[in-house]
Amino acid sequence: FGEQRFGLRQNSHLLGQALVKGQLDEFFEQFLGRPHPAENPEAQRARAAFDAGNWSEALNLWPSMLRQERTTLAKLVKTHNAAAALRTIDNRLKRLFVSAFQSDLFNQLLADRLDRLGRLETGDVAYIHRNGASFVVEDTAREQPRADAFEISPAGPLFGVKYLAARGKAGQRELAVLQAAEVSLEDFDLPGVRFKGGRRPYRIPLQDAALYWDEGLIISFVLPPGGCATMVLREVMKDKP
């Protein structure tokens, strides 16, 4: 998952982690505080006031365009009740934050696997590119030729209460990432926002790639659903498109 998954301030996964762990103080510090240089100066001043404990001042400074944050802060100022303030946040936004947290955990496991993306291990969960189904690998000698042909690929977890767990060493690595984040699968069952979990392949096919010049360099390719073109361009350009 690329940088755009984690929002303008690159902290959407931290917001999601705080939600999953039930750490409301940390959530609101991330949601309403922590000024970031990518934001406009008005928003940075409002966040700095919140960090300093001047909530009413922060509310007066808050840009009207950041409507959700302003609504949530107003509830905090009025009630000093974190749970009540959390209820002002749309479940779709909470889902986005937790999805970013899932993505960050996936990326950690992907980084550990970069040198062997196409090599299966016993206990891996394999992803079938043709239909999106997944299964646990029991016989690597039998399944590796399918991986070599790009029919299947090792798949990383999007953790949730019903995700298909890997086994063996692959499962141990996944469990270690969860433990390092200090969360359990049951923690993904949030009030009004339940995450069943799933699997995403560690690699995806890039098809019909072409490169040509037409008043500028043109790159074309086809990705399956879920693929991110900006990440392909980053690898080609070695920059942030």
Say if residues 159 and 197 touch (Cβ distance below 8 Å): yes
- With 0-12 / 13-18 / 19 or more C-beta atoms within 10 angstroms meaning exposed / middle / buried, residue 67 is exposed
Tokens 């010049």 -> residue: 213
- Please state, as a whole number, how many other Cβ atoms lie within 10 Å of the Cβ of residue 234: 15
Q: Give residue 240's pLDDT.
A: 60
At residue 157's C-alpha, the angle toward residues 31 and 21, to 5°, is: 35
Residue 136 pLDDT grade (very low, low, confident, very high; cuts 50, 70, 90): very high
User: Mean per-residue pLDDT for 106-129?
Assistant: 96
> Which pLDDT does position 72 carry in this prediction?
98
C-alpha dist (Å) from residue 65 to 40, 42, 61, 191: 11, 11, 12, 28
Amino acid at 34: R
Average pLDDT, the chain: 94
Is CATH 3.30.2350.20 the right assignment for the domain spanning 112-201?
A: yes
For residue 134, what is the enclosing H or E element? Answer: strand 134-136
Give yes or no for a contact between 58 and 49, defined as CB atoms under 8 angstroms apart: yes
For domain 3-91, which architecture applies?
A: Orthogonal Bundle (1.10)
Please, where in the chain does CATH 1.10.1510.30 lie?
Answer: 3-91
Task: Identify the weakest region by mean pLDDT among 37-46, 163-172, 182-191, 204-213.
Answer: 204-213
- From first CA to last CA, the distance across the chain in angstroms is 15
In the chain, residues under CATH classification 3.30.2350.20 are 112-201
pLDDT in tens, 4-21: 889 999 999 999 999 999
- In this predicted structure, which of 111-115, 157-161, 197-201, 204-208 has the lowest mean pLDDT? 204-208
CA distance 95 to 146: 35
Residue 223 near residue 204 (C-beta atoms within 8 A): yes
